Amino acid sequence: MVQALPVREKITTWVNICPLAAILPNTGVCALVAGQQVAIFRLGYGADIYAVSNYDPFSKAFVLSRGILGSRSGIPKVASPIYKQNFNLLTGQCFDDDTVSIPTFQVRVVEDKVQIVVSE
């Protein structure tokens, strides 16, 4: 049967995930946020942070946080570590297949703490 679309709800709470230093520059980590696996990436050495779902729709494994970060024409992206499809970190859109995109999450750094929005 056809799956229902994930319902994105209004902003609710920001929750603390980890200190910024827990994410090495130019790498990602996976966080457990309200039962969901979220991949959080730190681009460069500062607080340039992105969050997308950790689920790789191509391999069906929860691994995107382990992908290599980079850019395509200036757009930040991550490559799946399994079959190397690339995803736009701003929108979740897959670069290699227009019909695929992954959920993104709101994320910020406050006082060196990485925070994510949890919808209820």
Partner 1 sequence: MTAKKNLVVIGNGMIGHKFLELMIAKKATEHWNVITFCEEPRVAYDRVNLSSYFSGKTAADLSLVTPGLYQENGIQMHIGDKAVAINREEKTVSSANGLKVSYDKIVLATGSYPFVPPIKGNDTKGTFVYRTIEDLEAMSTYAKNCQVGVVVGGGLLGLEAAKALQNMGLITHVVEFAPRLMPVQIDDAGGNILRAKIEALGISVHTSKSTTEIVSKNGKVTKMLFTDGSELPTDIIVFSAGIRPRDEIARECGLEVGTRGGIIINDYCQTSDPNIYAIGECALYQNLIYGLVAPGYQMAGVVADIFNNITTSTFTGADMSSKLKLLGVDVASFGDAFAKTPGAKEIAMIDAVKGIYKKLVLNQDGSRLLGGILVGDASAYGTLMQFVQNAIALPPHPEDLLMPPREGKSATTAMGVNSLPDTAQICSCNNVSKGQICAAIRENNLTDVPSIKKCTKASTGCAGCVPLVTDLLKAELKKAGIVVKNRLCEHFSYSRQELYHLVRTHNIHTFDELIQKYGLGLGCEICKPTVASILASTWNEHILNQAHVALQDSNDYFLANIQRDGTYSIVPRVPGGELTPERLIVLGEVAKDFGLYTKITGGQRIDLFGARVEQLPHIWKRLIDAGFESGHAYGKALRTIKSCVGSTWCRFGVQDSTSLAIELELRYRGLRAPHKLKSAVSGCTRECAEAQSKDFGVIATEKGWNLYVCGNGGMKPQHAVLLAADIDKETLIEYLDRFLMFYIRTADRLERTATWFNKLEGGLDYLKQVIIEDSLGICAELEAQMAYHISTYQCEWKATIEDPEKLQRFQHFVNSDRPDPSIVYVEERGQKRPAKEHEKFLFTASKS
For the chain, the first-to-last Cα distance in angstroms comes to: 26
Per-residue contact string for residues 56-95; x = within reach of partner 1 by CB under 8 A: ---xxxxx--xxxxxxxxx-xx-x-xx-x-x---------
Residue 72 dihedral angles phi and psi, to the nearest 5°:
-130, 120
Given a contact cutoff of 8 angstroms between Cβ atoms, the answer to whether 64 and 58 are in contact is no
Is residue 17 close enough to count as binding partner 1 by CB under 8 A? yes
Chain-centroid distance, C-alpha 82: 16
CB of 73 to partner 1, least distance (A): 7
Q: Which residues bind partner 1 (CB under 8 A)?
A: 1-5, 17-18, 22-27, 29-32, 37, 40, 43-44, 59-63, 66-74, 76-77, 79, 81-82, 84, 86, 96, 98-100
